[in-house]
Amino acid sequence: MPDIDIDAPGKTLLLMGNEAIARGALEAGIGFIASYPGTPSSEILPTLAGVAKRRGIYAEWSVNEMVAMMVATGASLGGVRAMATMKQNGTNVAMDFIATLTQRGLRGGGGLLLVNCDDPGQRNSPNEQDTRPVAKWLDIPLLEPGDFQEAKDMTKWLFDLSEELDTLCMLRCVAKISHTRGNVKLNELPEKEKKARFELDRLGRPVNPHAAVHEKLDKAQEKFELSPFNRYVGPDKADLLIITCGGSWLHSQEAVRLLKLEDKVGILKLGTLWPLPEKLVVQHLGKSQRILFVEETDPFVERSVMELAASLPPDSLRPIFYGKRSGHVPAYGELNPDSVIRAITKIMGLTYESRDADYSKKVEAAVKSDVVVRIGTLCPGCPHRASYWAIKNALKLDGRLGFATADNGCISAGLGPAGFYVAKTAYAMGSGAAVADGLGKLGQFGFDQPVLGGVGDSTFYHAGIPALLNAVWNKSNFTLIVYDNNATAMTGFQPHPGTGMTAMGDPAREVSIEAICRSMGVRVEICDPFDLEKTTETLLDVMKDEREGPRVVVMRRECELIRARREGPPYDVYVDTEKCLGDSCGCDRLCTRILRCPGLVWDEEAGKSKIDEIICSGCGLCADICPQGAIIREPVVTQEREIAEEIPGR
């Protein structure tokens, strides 16, 4: 793919939605971007960071989204166009700041954008959430792209709008736009030259801040009435009018086309979602007696339009509304063309079968022999598997019905079979520590179960530090496990304050987790989770530590995916079929039934376990758990490894 900053107006590139957003920012002359990784938003920042130096812009991974939003605001106040990007959970984190920011305005600063990427269907999120209501709630002009071109164009346009209105503007994208690709026609890039200055005379706060922002919204609404991001395709009088936005627009078009209803069903696609372009909407409401709302997650447009309809003059025609409220469109999860087809056919009394009823059975039969059934799991070689194994055993040995709490990211696997179900909760960034902190204060109520709070390394910096500090201050009795794989692994290995590198690839100070903990006076133990015995022993000892306040165990081992990119497998691992006794062993398939590393499979034919050589990463963990010693690991000595070992500190 050509570089994202190619200066070729008119050229068409196949861009991922997130790249299109990045390109739009470049075309708008962005100077500053800050973000915290979170699927599906994570690619926007690296796309800009990759060209930051030659475009003369600044890009940073911030420690969390609130900080990202704040530092971007700082840049805006300095006169530089700035953007903060995050997923829905991140916007929640930043919201306290945003709520006040909108009422203060930008004071003549550079355009400021919040790009929020939602994850309908929560494929990669702890929750499913529609963040559009934040715009309505906190008075932010909001746009949502319906395709890739719009993802770019809206981003660019919002910078102008932000400066014109002197307020934060918001772009909401969804996974299906962010993470898929489409054609994007480029516009020109501006000059690189940027000069930052904080204008002292522009300081001051509006007399009535809330009133001021409402005035801005009124202005935004006027502009939205005429915006080309809102468009209608269909007959002048339609049997059914679909009002849609975002990725659902694509599904709506597809559904109408498949049903061959182009001359009966009209589609009003809205791109400017808040404030609602009321005149435009009212004008289209007259097109049909039946209105169907198609949008993902919350009935945001649906409710806004229904509110609008309720305020129409008494003698107005009142259409029938269909959507999430009527049950015609699912109230949660990702939509697809079928969801729209179902709604349309139900409303219009049609029948449509996209495929024959047995289709899924036929597919299942066809692929059965070739597709291995796998559980949601951790990667082969993942150090978290070893950590959870040691925790599982330590909790059982301890015998006081202890349990773990997990957090976001890879360690949320602790809730399932890959983490042996040791984790019982996982909510939001930092909650693995703070929820454990709360449980650890229940001694006075007779609570005596050991709690192993959990936090990943990146999350430790993000929200774990205040949680630990709180626990230290209030003397909570629990153990905080920091699962330190030296990576923000779940979202794609973005650097964090412990990795010694910035988003733009510059070396940085490595901020030590244990030094932070020790500075709070906390006992810190550092374990290599692959040393199962020692780790289990340490956990048992730490859980019995009766001194006041929390303890910290850092489970330290590099993310396997990062290690494997750098070097080959450390071990040749294989099952000695002489030693493996199969089902007559008495081990009850510990390796494939309990450990369940995807690299180790049960060979039905041989009645023994075997290594799946394609998948096995050669970590050798399974050799430690086989009671029969039938899994053999032999160190792989390669030239690279020998060289690596000679370099001190590597």
Partner 1 sequence: MDVKVKGSKELFDEVINKGLCTLCGACAGACPYLVPYKGRIVLLDNCTLTEGQCYKYCPRTYTDMDAISQQVFGAPYSEDELGTTKEVLMVRSTDAGIREKAQYGGAVTTLVSLAMAEGIINSAILTRTTDDKTPKGFLARSKTAVLECAGSSYMACPVLESYNHVPEYSNHRLGIVAVPCQVLAVSKMKREPPQNRFDVNNIKLVIGLFCTWALSPDGFHQFLTENLNLPWVTKFDIPPPPANRFDAYTASGRMSFSLEQVRQFTMPTCAYCLDMTSEFADISIGSVEGTEGWNTVIIRTDTGAELMEMARVKAKLEIDKLPDENLAHLKEAALLKKKRALQEIIKKSGDEKNLLYLGLSQSLIDRLMV
Residue numbers at the binding site for partner 1 (CB under 8 A): 392-393, 396-397, 399, 420, 581, 584-588, 590, 593-594, 625, 627
Cα 353 to Cα 105, 344, 357, 518: the distances in Å are: 52, 13, 8, 64
Q: How far is the CB of 593 from partner 1 (least distance, A)?
A: 8
Q: How far is the CB of 625 from partner 1 (least distance, A)?
A: 7
Q: How far is the CB of 396 from partner 1 (least distance, A)?
A: 5
Q: How far is the CB of 399 from partner 1 (least distance, A)?
A: 6
Q: Give the pairing of strands 265-270 and 240-245.
A: parallel
| Distance, CA of 246 to CA of 248 (rounded, Å) | 5
Which two structure tokens, joined as six digits, stand for 184? Answer: 């994007």
Q: Which is nearer to partner 1, 236 or 588 (CB)?
A: 588
Q: How far is the CB of 411 from partner 1 (least distance, A)?
A: 20
| Distance, CA of 10 to CA of 507 (rounded, Å) | 38
Q: Are the CB atoms for 527 and 482 separated by under 8 Å?
A: no
Which two structure tokens, joined as six digits, stand for 11? Answer: 């050229």
Q: Which is nearer to partner 1, 308 or 590 (CB)?
A: 590
Q: Which is nearer to partner 1, 38 or 620 (CB)?
A: 620
> What is the DSSP code string of 529-576?
TTSHHHHHHHHHHHHT--SSS-EEEEEE---HHHHHHHS--SEEEEE-
Q: How far is the CB of 583 from partner 1 (least distance, A)?
A: 9
Q: Are the CB atoms for 550 and 477 separated by under 8 Å?
A: yes
Cα 413 to Cα 305, 328, 453, 552: the distances in Å are: 41, 34, 14, 20
Cβ contacts of residue 265 below 8 Å, gap of 6+?
Answer: 234, 238, 239, 240, 241, 242, 256, 259, 344
Q: How far is the CB of 387 from partner 1 (least distance, A)?
A: 16
Q: Which is nearer to partner 1, 86 or 587 (CB)?
A: 587
| Distance, CA of 111 to CA of 164 (rounded, Å) | 8
Q: Which is nearer to partner 1, 399 or 648 (CB)?
A: 399
| Distance, CA of 633 to CA of 471 (rounded, Å) | 42
Q: How far is the CB of 453 from partner 1 (least distance, A)?
A: 22
Which two structure tokens, joined as six digits, stand for 252? Answer: 């709506």
User: String of b and e for 620-631 (b: at least 16 CB within 10 Å)?
Assistant: bbbbbbbebebb
Q: Are the CB atoms for 609 and 575 separated by under 8 Å?
A: yes
| Distance, CA of 402 to CA of 398 (rounded, Å) | 8
Q: How far is the CB of 99 from partner 1 (least distance, A)?
A: 48
